A and B are shown apart, each in its own frame.
Chain A
Amino acid sequence: MNSSSGSAAGPSSGSGDESAPRRNSKRPKYSKFTQQELPACKPILTPKWVISVFTLVGVIFVPIGIAALMASNSVVEIVDRYDTECIPANMIADKVAYIQNDTINKICTRNLTVPKDMDQPIYVYYQLDNFYQNHRRYVKSRNDAQLKDADKANKTSGCDPEKTTKDGSPIVPCGLIAWSLFNDTYNFTLGNQNLSVNKNGISWKSDRDHKFGKDVYPKNFQNGTLRGGANLDPNKSLNEQENLIVWMRTAALPTFRKLYGKIHQDLKANDTIMVTLENNYNTYSFNGKKKLVLSTSSWLGGKNDFLGIAYVTIGGLCFFLATAFTVVYLVKPRKLGDPSYLSWNRNPLGH
């Protein structure tokens, strides 16, 4: 035994690198990360915090809500549903036949009374109801490449079923969206004076400039056996046909408004506007409503009380909750960090 250890001592001492300074310990290195001692703030949701947060939200929300409501209230809006009115009494039983019959004159006259003074610009909207512009089959039925680029007229993928004409030449703009373009028209007269409707600048600039090409012209549009909606001027490039551009920014909900044009003239209260409209668009098939909307605008946009009401309600609710919590706090305060609240103190058996 000893001899072996003696003989072993010799060669092993030869390895000199053993003496190099190094750490032999497996002690983990200290760092705040590994010891989980990173500096942290530890917010505790104390009653004071709860009350102050509710109060703060209330303080911020109520004024915003009131401002929004005022903005919304300052907007004057005339809404007129005309699809039921602009139908001859004899055709009421079969509205679809009426609307699909091209031979019948669709002109219809409506008189609208201005409730309050309306400052220009006055926006003219049409509102459709039960029209599923957000239906999957509808939304995808377009081809953005074709709309943008004259060279890509043949790109009609996704445009089913309005891709090509019967002889196979591509339709520009293809797809169901363009095909079903809204085609009611409105003319406004105030007394004897004709109110001109400006149909420029009704679409978002980004759409106009980037999505619809300057040199793309409608081709083979509405040439099929079934006409969906409005026709387009084949001599006007797509980016000038703003009604199409507006229409093609598909709406999120089945009830939607789209901008028809702008009237650059102030209207006075009790003025009567006569609207001469062509009731061409078929909403009778699917029991959709058609409405004409004249509206002014505020900094917030059109008439929509929702934001204002929401803000005021939430703000009010917060005030209410803050008060309620304060009352509870005053009546039956909970001592912070009361050990008697600990479950094992409440129930010594620990069950």
Chain B
Amino acid sequence: MNGMGWERVRMARLGGEAAVVGTRRREVADLRQVPSQTVRLGRVQPQHPSHRTIYCNDSDANFLARFKSNSISTTKYNVLTFLPKGLFEQFRRVANLYFLMISILSTTPISPVSPVTNVVPLSLVLLVSLIKEAFEDWKRLQNDNSINNTAVDVLQGQNWESMPWRKLQVGDIVRVKQDDFFPADLLFLASTNPDGVCYIETANLDGETNLKIRKALEKTWDYLAPEIADKFKGEIQCEQPNNSLYTFTGNLIIERQTLPLSPNQILLRGCSLRNTEYIVGAVIFTGHETKVMMNSMSVPSKRSTLERKLDKLILALFGGLFMMCLIGAIGSGVFINRKYYFLGLFDDVEGQFNPNNRFVVTILTMFTLITLYSTIIPISLYVSIEMIKFIQCAQFIDKDLHMYHAESNTPALARTSNLNEELGQVEYIFSDKTGTLTRNLMEFFKCSIGGEAYGTGITEIEKEQAQRSGKKLSEEARSDTTVHEKGFNFDDARLMHGAWRNEHDPEICKEFFRCLALCHTVLPEGDESPEKITYQAASPDEAALVTAAKNFGFFFYRRTPTTVMVRESHVETMGIKQDVSYEILNVLEFNSTRKRQSIVCRYPNGRLVLYCKGADTVIYERLSNASNDIRKVTREHLEQFGSAGLRTLCLAYRELTNDLYEKWNEKFIQAKSSLRDREKKLDEVAEIIEKDLILVGCTAIEDKLQDGVPACIETLARAGIKIWVLTGDKMETAINIAYACNLINNDMKQFIISSETDSIQEAEEKGDPVEIARVTKDTVKNHLKQCLEEAHGHLHGSGQKLALVIDGKCLMHALDPNLRVNLLNLSLNCSSVICCRVSPLQKAQVTSLVKKGAHRITLSIGDGANDVSMIQAAHVGVGISGLEGMQAVMASDFAIAQFRFLTDLLLVHGRWSYIRLCKVITYFFYKNLTFTLTQFWFTFQTGFSGQRFYDDWFQSLYNVIFTALPVIIVGLFDKDVSASLSKKYPELYREGIRNMFFKWRVVAVWAFFAVYQSLIFYYFTTTASQNGHNSSGMIFGLWDVSTMAFTCAVVTVNLRLLMVCNSLTRWHLLSVSGSILAWFIFIFIYSGIMTQNDRQENVYFTIYVLMSTFYFYLTLLLIPVVALLSDFFYLGIQRWFFPHNYQIVQEIHRGEYEGVGSREFLEIGNNLTPDEARSYAILQLPREKSRHTGFAFDSPGYESFFASQQGVFAPIMAWDVARRASVRSKRTSQR
């Protein structure tokens, strides 16, 4: 857990000789035998071939190296590159590129339209996109500036001088004060704290709020005051800048000594200093070369299924465009003829109209028509969708008070705006258990010591179980000894208040309690009294265990780098308290491969003991053969606890002799100081000593369900969503949690595929891995087949619901390409699936099995680092911003505070987004098709010449002005049923899963009405215009008719939008009437003026001419009504005879007032202090996803086996940084 600092082992290699000095306790001689030491004459070379050498406090020497400056720029553009680069980005979109080509084409004489037709919408779209880009970049720039100009104290001569961050140079000596951020990656030299430690908060790196400790090399502890710091002339040789946050290799050469550096001496930019008055450090990496900046890579963006389907629609439109052009082009080739002498088709006519070469005419007309019909591709669609989604995220999801968790002060967060509508189509949810379904608030609940089980409590799951089996559990009256504090919910008079002394083996009880009190990496804070002390631990499990020790009378109250102080009660005699100081010699850290944690400690009386705690599997493997009897009983207890839904850990110890220990410690130190593969070597060394353990007992910790989880799961199940639980827990625990969450019930037919069958165990006992694999695979194969057959029987017969439980080992084989199909078939037929003891990689594999194998929309939800791969693999990743740090959130697309908020996220926001976007897309499709088809019909009556029907400006503004805003309003505000009804009728969600609103059938209906309406627009206006139109007998021309048709189209298309709305706010009405009004205002002005430039005055005065006739008004009334009548008829019939579910729900609740709970949402102003603003700015920096593996005691480690089979490299990072806490209470009191 903690770094090498704790071991007080410091190693230095003297130049020229492998002499090791500097360890206080152990002598030089001990280490002289180390064989693998690289010894060179002169300086020790860092082992990387390329390295950088930094001369601390010597800017002249560093000048030659030309290190980068410390100013950062996260902007995408600058003033010069903005236009070219921004435009380039825009034209990477096919639609934009298409319009660019059309625009270029329309400058040629081939084009029937002037360039303005296509240039204007394109430029407007580009303008909007570029403004958005510029705005975002501007914000980034301000953010950068605020960071770059933050002041920091830099050593100048013998004084600290305040300087902006950006002026910092590599090699500078800086002073960072409490609560300030580190300006660059620093080498930690000295701290105001004794023993050269400082505390840092890495929330900006990985979101973990607990403090971590860093320790300076002892040699540099003194360089604190400016006068002394000025004398510091070290030389740092270290690796080149890289993005690995948790590794660092380098040496500090000072006074001819070479000291190895570890991550423990490195203070990374982005972290902040806590609980330390100030520290002094030397700058190693600056600006963009800092580790945090090197990590700022863009997360690959996910695209929603709807958008991918939209691409198909656009392709279909291109297909339609091509067909229309082809028809028109062939027509033109046939039509053109010299007999139409009025067309001036004389001898030297240009190619497009030359009757002598009809083929050329056809080809050229093809291009002509492409430019003419370009409006069929909805250019503003993508921009509109982007805007809609962005507002949906930033305004609706992020600010939904229903998804705000008051206790943790966390609102929901949409981290991408690409996937809103995907939330409305999720069919499979893959959920982590711990911290997601459960609270991750661990409470010490039961234990087993020396083969005796203690703890009288009954878990919720046991109650649930009892209910299922019909038994009644009488709630036992709690005895007076009950202590219930955070982390401790244990009741057994046999152990409390020293009563354990009367148990049959008090010695083993002592070992148990000491193991609890010593073997951990918890930091105490606050007063050193049992009541007031609080424990800061990396995981709540650890805190719970230490709290338990406290309650048993082994009160851990102080930790120094070398010792742990425990106030032990009742040890010698009842009622006596004594403070005992245990010397902690080594800490063998926890990581997900080891799944255990050990310490070596020396009692005051010199006794050397290794205490170990870890997952039962790993501990049992390492037990000495002696303790067989306890073993069996404890195993039974473990299973009992497991089936009660408790998390178990085994505790063991080992007596060490001095010789044995010293020998081992040499190897340990050697591993510790190796520059390469340090983690691996440490694991190997740990393996040597962690054996022949003596089992003491086991602990059982309750992990309570989160609020509202069973209800939420039930709601989601009614919504047609299938929930799979993927957990590292044991099968019994997982099944029980599943029962507690309503995922499984006794009515279901359960299929259990477990690796704990006789045949597999038999094979395991033989120990031949190949044989084990073969047997397991065969078993799994047969089992799967059998289950599948049974499942089919049940589905067709009884209609019983099915559930599948499978464990990680079996899953590994079931995911084999041969068996995959069977697994998929079986699991898709099950309404819930539980995968237990799965590794993070398997979580991701199961997710992608369903995603790719079944083509269903998947959502993964989890809170820990072990869920990251699953979150990234699913269509939608949801992170729980909970207690286990922010890794999951950083990888996720949406972050919520509680599992139960999934109901709001999916059933309300997701469903609405989906329905809205479907409406927006289909409507866009409809309006562009309608408009373009009127052109198409006109083409038939112009001799296929490609004459435009509308004025250039009509066509260019149609998409971007006259029909743009209302559809966005619908995309934002349309609501079929209210939020509460969405949750009351979760079944409504199924329409999204089945993609009811964006099927080809739906598109076809829209297309049908588009054709119908365009025919009405064209033929009604033209037919009705054939004659004299007012009492003065004058006749309309082409442009009068087209203005008429366009007016009708704008009015109809806008009114049609109102017909798709389920709810009409005033914004709907305003935008629709505004759009129609905009057209009239435009045409009044546009046709009223004459301009000097080369505009053919086609539409001059047309609107006034039109409006002077009755024809105009009669047509304007007739055409929209006729055009919309069929839609109205369709909608009426649809609703009457084939109502959608939401329509029924609307009817059930018609006339009901939608409760607005505004009173509960009273607001207070939100102001940030300058400090907070800066911290926020740093928070906005691009950050990396933490790869810390966290605590998951039970997750099995065969991921590497599987990874190598799959050819995937799954890195296992053991972050050796101790998670340390400190005066958090003080910090909060400052606020």
Q: Do A and B bind each other?
A: yes
A310 to B720, CA, bound (A): 49
B401, B1028, B1136: the one within 8 Å of A30 (CB):
B401
Q: Can you list 15 A-B contacts with CB-CB less than 8 angstroms, sorted by A residue number?
A: A1-B1222, A5-B525, A27-B409, A28-B404, A28-B411, A30-B1161, A38-B973, A61-B1121, A135-B947, A136-B948, A179-B344, A202-B1034, A210-B1090, A307-B1111, A317-B1125
Q: Enumerate chain A residues within 8 angstroms of B1110, measured Cβ to Cβ.
A: 299-301
Also in contact, A36 and B346, with CB within 8 A (given A4-B197, A299-B1110): no
Contact in complex: A38, B1100 (CB < 8 Å): no
**Interface SS of chain A:** loop
The number of residues on chain B lying at the interface, defined by a beta carbon within 8 Å of a beta carbon of chain A, is 144
Interface contacts beyond A125-B1028, A136-B948, A139-B1038: sample of 9 additional A-B pairs, CB < 8 Å, sorted by A: A1-B524, A4-B276, A11-B177, A15-B1230, A42-B1150, A44-B1150, A61-B1121, A202-B1034, A300-B1110
Chain-B contact segment, one of A80-88, A105-113, A340-348: A340-348
Interface positions of A from 239 to 272, Cβ below 8 Å from B? 246, 249-259, 262
The answer on a CB contact under 8 Å between A29 and B1166 is yes
Q: Does residue A103 face the partner (Cβ distance < 8 Å to B)?
A: no
Question: Cβ of A330 < 8 Å from any Cβ of B?
Answer: no
| Distance from B231 Cβ to chain A, minimum over Cβ atoms (Å) | 24
Contact A28–B1035 (Cβ < 8 Å):
no
Do B1034 and A203 touch (CB < 8 A)? yes
Q: Which residues of B contact A299 (CB under 8 A)?
A: 1031, 1110
Contact between A314 and B340, CB atoms less than 8 A apart:
no
Select the stretch in A17-25, A164-172, A188-196 that faces chain B: A17-25
Q: Are A344 and B942 in contact (CB under 8 A)?
A: no
Residue numbers in B under 8 Å from A343 (CB-CB): 987, 990, 1141
CB distance from A138 to the nearest CB of B (A): 6
Query: Is there an interface contact between B1024 and A304, defined as CB atoms closer than 8 Å?
Result: yes
Choose, from B673-681, B751-759, B767-775, B1167-1175, the stretch at the interface: B1167-1175
Contacts of A26 in B (CB 8 A): 404, 409-411
Q: Please tell me if B264 contacts chain A, counting CB pairs below 8 Å.
A: no
Residue of B whose beta carbon sits closest to that of A313: B1122
Question: A318 contacts the other chain (Cβ, under 8 Å)?
Answer: yes
A141 at the interface (CB under 8 A from B): yes
Asked if A45 and B1131 make an inter-chain contact with CB atoms under 8 angstroms apart, the answer reads yes
Known contacts A23-B1164, A137-B344, A145-B1094; is-contact A57 B1038 (Cβ 8 Å):
no
Shortest C-beta distance, A243 to chain B (Å), equals: 13
> Across the two chains, which residue of chain B brings its CB closest to A77?
B1027
Residues of A within 8 A of B667 (CB): none
Stretch among B490-498, B777-785, B1006-1014, B1060-1068 lining the A interface: B1060-1068
- Determine how close the nearest CB of chain A comes to the CB of B361; give it in whole angstroms: 11
Q: Mark B253-285, 1 if CB is under 8 A from A, else 0.
A: 000000000000000000000111100000000
CA distance A338 to B1145 in the complex (A): 9
B396 with A123: CB separation less than 8 A: no
Q: Does A9 contact B (CB under 8 A)?
A: yes
**A7 to B1231 Cα, complex, angstroms:** 19
B400 partner, pick from A10, A28, A207, beta carbons under 8 A: A28
* A50 lies within 8 A of chain B by Cβ: yes
Contact of B1132 among A45, A125, A258 (CB under 8 A): A45
Which of chain B's residues 592-630 have a Cβ closer than 8 Å to chain A?
none
Task: Encode contact with B along A319-337: 1 for CB under 8 Å, 0 otherwise.
Answer: 0010001001000001011
Given contacts A206-B1101, A307-B1118, contact A137 B1031 (CB under 8 A): no
Residues of the B chain whose Cβ atoms lie less than 8 Å from the Cβ of A254:
941-943
**Which of chain B's residues have a CB closer than 8 A to the CB of A24?**
409, 1231
Chain B residue numbers with a CB within 8 Å of A33 are 395
Please give, as numbers and ranges, the residues of chain B lying within 8 Å of A250 by CB-CB distance: 1037-1038
Asked if residues B1033 and A302 are in contact (CB atoms below 8 Å), the reply is yes
In whole Å, how far is B120's beta carbon from the nearest beta carbon of chain A? 20
Known pairs A17-B1169, A343-B1141; A131 contacts B342 (CB<8 A): yes
A141 CA to B560 CA in the complex, in Å?
95
Cβ–Cβ < 8 Å partners of A45 in chain B: 1131-1132, 1135
- B523 in the interface (beta carbon within 8 A): yes
**Which residues of chain A come closer than 8 Å to B1027, judged between CB atoms?**
257, 295, 301-304
B1025: interface (CB < 8 Å): yes
The digit string for A110-134, where 1 denotes a CB below 8 A from any CB of B, is 0000000000010101000001111
The chain B residue sitting closest to A206, CB to CB, is: B1101
Footprint of A on B, CB under 8 Å? 112, 177-179, 192-194, 197, 199, 274-277, 337, 339-344, 346, 348-350, 353, 368, 395-396, 398-401, 404, 406, 409-411, 523-525, 528, 558-560, 720, 799, 912, 938, 941-943, 945-948, 973, 975, 979, 985, 987, 990, 1020, 1022-1038, 1040-1042, 1062-1068, 1090, 1094-1097, 1100-1101, 1104-1105, 1109-1111, 1114-1115, 1117-1118, 1121-1122, 1125, 1128-1129, 1131-1132, 1135-1137, 1139, 1141, 1143-1150, 1154, 1156, 1158, 1161-1171, 1222-1223, 1226, 1230-1231
Question: In the complex the two chains form, is B1096's CB within 8 Å of A140's CB?
Answer: yes
B1170 contacts which chain A residues (CB < 8 A)? Answer: 17
Q: Would A8 and B1028 count as touching, CB distance under 8 A?
A: no
Contact A1 B523 (CB under 8 A): yes
Residue contact B1037 to A336, C-beta cutoff 8 Å: no
With a CB–CB cut-off of 8 A, which chain B residues contact A13? 1230
B1105 and A204 contact, CB distance less than 8 A: yes
Q: Which B residues are CB-close (under 8 A) to A287?
A: 339
Specify which chain B residues have a CB less than 8 angstroms from the CB of A301 in the assembled complex: 1027-1031, 1033, 1109-1111
Q: How far is the CA of A169 from the CA of B1192 in the complex (A)?
A: 93
**Contact in complex: B1100, A206 (CB < 8 Å):** yes
Q: How large is the interface on A (under 10, 10 to 19, 20 to 34, 35 or more residues)?
A: 35 or more
Give the shortest distance, in Å, between A60 (CB) and chain B (any CB).
Answer: 8
Least CB separation from A340: chain B residue: B1144
B975 pairs with A40, CB closer than 8 A:
yes
Chain B residue nearest to A40 in the complex (CB) = B1063
Closest residue of chain B to A325 (Cβ to Cβ) is: B1132
A334 vs B1135: C-alpha distance in the bound complex, in angstroms? 10
Contact of B1121 among A27, A141, A282, A314 (CB under 8 A): A314
Scoring A residues 189 to 229 as 1 if CB is less than 8 Å from chain B, else 0, what string do you get? 00000000000011110110011000000000000001010
- Taking the closest CB of chain B, its distance from the CB of A20, in whole angstroms, is 6
Inter-chain CA distance A157–B1093, complex, in Å, is 13
Q: Does A55 contact B (CB under 8 A)?
A: no
Are the C-beta atoms of A39 and B1065 separated by less than 8 Å?
yes
Q: Is A256 touching B193 in the complex (CB atoms < 8 A)? A: no
What's the Cα separation between A132 and B342 when bound, in Å? 8
With A12-B1226, A262-B1033 given, is the CB distance from A47 to B1136 under 8 Å? yes
Q: From residue A127, how far is it (CB to closest CB) to chain B in Å?
A: 9
Q: Contact at A10–B340, with CB atoms within 8 Å?
A: no
Give the Cβ gap from A4 to chain B, nearest Cβ, in Å.
4
Which of A13, A46, A202, A344 has the largest number of chain B CB atoms within 10 A?
A344
> Which among A206, A210, A317 has the greatest number of chain B C-beta atoms within 10 A?
A206
A136 and B275 within 8 A (CB): no
Residue of A nearest to B908 (CB): A36
Interface contact B1028-A28, CB-CB below 8 Å = no
Given contacts A29-B1166, A304-B1024, whether A318 and B342 have CB atoms under 8 Å apart is no
CB < 8 Å neighbour of B1226 from A9, A31, A297: A9
Asked whether A27 lies within 8 Å of B947 as measured between CB atoms, the reply is: no
Closest CB in chain A relative to B336 CB, distance in Å? 9
Q: Is the CB of A286 within 8 A of B341?
A: yes
Among A121, A134, A303, residue most surrounded by chain B Cβ atoms (within 10 Å): A134
Whole-angstrom CA separation of A158 from B1035 in the bound complex: 25
| A211 proximity list for chain B (CB < 8 A) | 1097, 1100
Smallest Cβ-Cβ distance to B1169: which chain A residue: A17
Closest-CB distance, A35 to chain B (whole angstroms): 6
Distance of A210 Cα from B193 Cα, bound (Å): 90
| Closest residue of A by beta carbon distance from B1114 | A307
Cβ-defined contact, A134 with B942, below 8 A: yes
Contacting pair B1036 A40 (CB below 8 A) = no
Q: Is the CB of A30 within 8 A of B1162?
A: yes
The answer to whether A38 touches B1118, judged by C-beta atoms less than 8 angstroms apart, is: no
Q: Given A38-B1065, A314-B1118 in contact, is the A298-B1031 Cβ separation under 8 Å?
A: yes
